[in-house]
Amino acid sequence: MFTEGLFTKLLQLEDGWFVESVETDFKQEEIYIQIECVLEELEDAETGELCRVYDHAPVREWRHLDTMQYRTFLRCKLPRILTSSG
């Protein structure tokens, strides 16, 4: 739990977002950080409307800054919202 809490703070995740797990592949020198969102509502970036989260997209992966010599990747199932416009 220390590692997950550390990366949650280092990534400056907002309330409702947290690091679920951290996997390290020492042989390949890679770190995989799984981020989760537990919010039931999110703001629509275009309208500012507060919308209900209805599900999560399949896992996506992004390359992040290296952690020391380890290539670091973020993984997340992004939440999808239901807007009033459909």
6-48: pLDDT as tens digits: 999 999 999 999 999 999 999 999 999 999 999 999 999 889 9
**Beta carbons within 8 Å of 34's beta carbon, 6+ residues apart:** 19, 20, 21, 22, 23, 75, 76
For residue 82, give both structure tokens: 């239901």
List the beta bridge partners of residue 4: none
Whether 2 shows a pLDDT value over 90: the answer reads no
Residue bearing tokens 């500012």: 48
Overall pTM > 0.85: yes
What pLDDT does 10 receive? 93
Looking at residue 49, its amino acid is: E
CA 63 vs CA 24, 50, 73, 80: distances in Å? 14, 29, 5, 22
Q: Cα separation of 6 and 18, whole Å?
A: 10
What pLDDT does 86 receive? 64
Residue-range domain boundaries for the chain: 1-79
pLDDT band per the 50, 70, 90 thresholds, residue 84: confident
